[in-house]
């Protein structure tokens, strides 16, 4: 049975620069995203992968309204580009985002309880007692003790802070959770624990997820579908098995070949098999896209 579409992105482009002249010269225009079209169904996890600078973060920031865009973004058939600021704020609880750096995404002057309770206060106008009870429930949901509620972000580790950010993001029961490189700033063991929390949230809450990552191993483990961006353009998309096991685009093949494997001989053979001679338009090998 086909699941209903939650998010539809059609011919999306994002351009920075240009516009007003300074000292007689207008800034150069940079097209960070170019004509990307994607879909996200209810309960689905979509991984957006590519090297740094490929436009992954810019794409999801356009979805949550942090950058201006050309093209169309629809949530449940509603055109987000045509909404006023007030209407966009009303819709905000349904699409929540977790950012890459847990050290900057939380206000250092607020306690953990205040950080997690803030969306409850702004959007639901919940009482203090209800907020406190909900915060404790959310902390336990992401595997943190309720006793941490009285502490400040500086007292927590990076993994704990990212769990707090996840708790805040799901406080309003969103339909879509967007994770923008949510584990890339964490050490490997902490990454694994945070990924387990994200997977559990997706399963328990039944929410859809857009997971931005440069780590193909994470994409393979977490997502049902994968979209590959190169220099702002969508070069390939499909199921995780299709894209990562049998990639069709040359760029995707080089990304997959760049993922390290434990056997040096096998790794060398894999990379050699993906090499394209310069005379045939080949490019330098892609740097490792993440851990296997």
CB-CB neighbours of 117 under 10 Å = 24
For residues 257 and 215, membership in a common domain is answered with no
Nearest to 185 by CA among 211, 161, 153: 161
For residues 256 and 127, membership in a common domain is answered with no
CB–CB of 258/81 below 8 Å? no
The boundaries of the domain holding residue 270 are: 247-292
For residues 116 and 251, membership in a common domain is answered with no
**pLDDT value of position 264:** 74
What digits encode the pLDDT tens for the residues 15-46?
997 666 656 565 678 899 999 999 999 999 99
How large is the C-alpha radius of gyration of the chain?
20
For residues 228 and 271, membership in a common domain is answered with no
Residues with pLDDT less than 70, the chain = 1, 18-27, 262-263, 267, 270-292
For residues 226 and 257, membership in a common domain is answered with no
For residues 125 and 196, membership in a common domain is answered with yes
| DSSP character at residue 20 | S
Q: pTM for the whole thing?
A: 0.85
**pLDDT value of position 281:** 43
Give how many domains the chain has, as a whole number: 2
Place of tokens 């436009």: 55
**pLDDT value of position 273:** 63
For residues 230 and 257, membership in a common domain is answered with no
Distance CA 171, CA 138 (A): 7
For residues 273 and 141, membership in a common domain is answered with no
- The answer for residues whose C-beta is within 8 angstroms of residue 174's C-beta and 6 or more apart is 93, 94, 95, 96, 207
For residues 207 and 87, membership in a common domain is answered with yes
What digits encode the pLDDT tens for the residues 57-78?
999 999 999 999 999 999 999 9
CB–CB of 150/112 below 8 Å? yes
CB–CB of 228/49 below 8 Å? yes
For residues 29 and 134, membership in a common domain is answered with yes
Nearest to 63 by CA among 31, 27, 38: 38
For residues 171 and 253, membership in a common domain is answered with no
For residues 232 and 289, membership in a common domain is answered with no
């Amino acid at each position: 049975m086909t699941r209903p579409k939650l998010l539809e992105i059609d011919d999306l482009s994002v351009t920075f620069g240009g516009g007003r002249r300074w000292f007689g010269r207008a800034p150069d225009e940079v097209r960070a995203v170019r004509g990307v079209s994607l879909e996200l169904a209810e309960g689905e996890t979509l991984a957006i992968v590519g090297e740094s600078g490929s436009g992954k973060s810019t794409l999801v920031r356009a979805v949550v309204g942090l950058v201006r865009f050309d093209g169309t973004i629809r949530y449940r058939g509603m055109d987000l580009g045509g909404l006023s600021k007030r209407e966009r704020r009303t819709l905000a609880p349904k699409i929540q985002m977790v950012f890459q750096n847990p050290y900057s995404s939380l206000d250092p002057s607020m306690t953990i309880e205040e950080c997690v309770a803030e969306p409850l206060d702004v959007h639901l106008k919940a009482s203090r007692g209800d907020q406190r009870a909900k915060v404790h429930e959310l902390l336990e949901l992401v595997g943190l003790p309720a006793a941490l509620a009285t502490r400040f972000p500086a007292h927590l580790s990076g993994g704990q802070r990212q769990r707090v950010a996840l708790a805040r993001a799901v406080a309003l029961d969103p339909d879509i959770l967007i994770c923008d490189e949510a584990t890339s700033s964490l050490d490997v063991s902490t990454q694994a624990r945070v990924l387990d929390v994200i997977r559990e949230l997706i399963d328990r809450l039944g929410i859809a997820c857009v997971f931005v990552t440069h780590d193909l191993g994470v994409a393979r483990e977490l997502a049902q579908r994968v979209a590959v961006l190169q220099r702002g353009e969508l070069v390939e998309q499909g199921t995780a098995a299709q894209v990562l096991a049998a990639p069709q685009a040359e760029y995707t093949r080089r990304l997959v070949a760049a993922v390290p494997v434990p056997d040096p001989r096998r790794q060398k053979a894999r990379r050699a098999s993906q090499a394209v001679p310069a005379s045939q338009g080949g490019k330098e090998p892609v740097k490792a896209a993440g851990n296997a």
